[in-house]
Amino acid sequence: MDHLFLKSFHIAGFSFYQGSFLFSELKIGSTIELVPDTDNIHDEHAVELRFNGHKIGYVPRDENREISTIMKAGHDVFIGVVQQISPEDHPEQQVRVGVFVKNKQSISDCLTVG
């Protein structure tokens, strides 16, 4: 079940959303949900990052265009994973997320379930 690495970044806006409240629950390997924010008036390619249903920030603006475009086309092919946690750093630099592209088998499994 190998997934292809796409990119890695710190969470934009981490200190402005629920990230600070959920920081102690985040662990390396925690799954982060990527959700297109189609109503965002500041960035047409905004992609929210959610942990356990709570918004913890965004994919940085300079990293979100390709992810947003593919998601807006209806493809559910991305997996977000916490790669690094640095409690001593500035809140905007405390959590690094990696985005991976699901392999074809994982996508097929999602389509056949339910």
pLDDT digits (tens, 9 = 90+) for 38-78: 999 999 999 999 999 999 999 999 999 999 999 999 999 99
Domain at 4-112: CATH code: 3.30.70.2330
- The pTM of this model reads 0.86
Confidence of residue 21 (pLDDT cuts 50, 70, 90): confident
Backbone torsion region of residue 90, taken as left when φ is above 0, otherwise alpha when ψ lies between -120 and 50, otherwise beta = beta
Q: Which of 79, 69, 82, 74 is nearest to 103 (CA)?
A: 79
In this prediction, residues 77-98 reach a mean pLDDT of 93
pLDDT at 109: 61
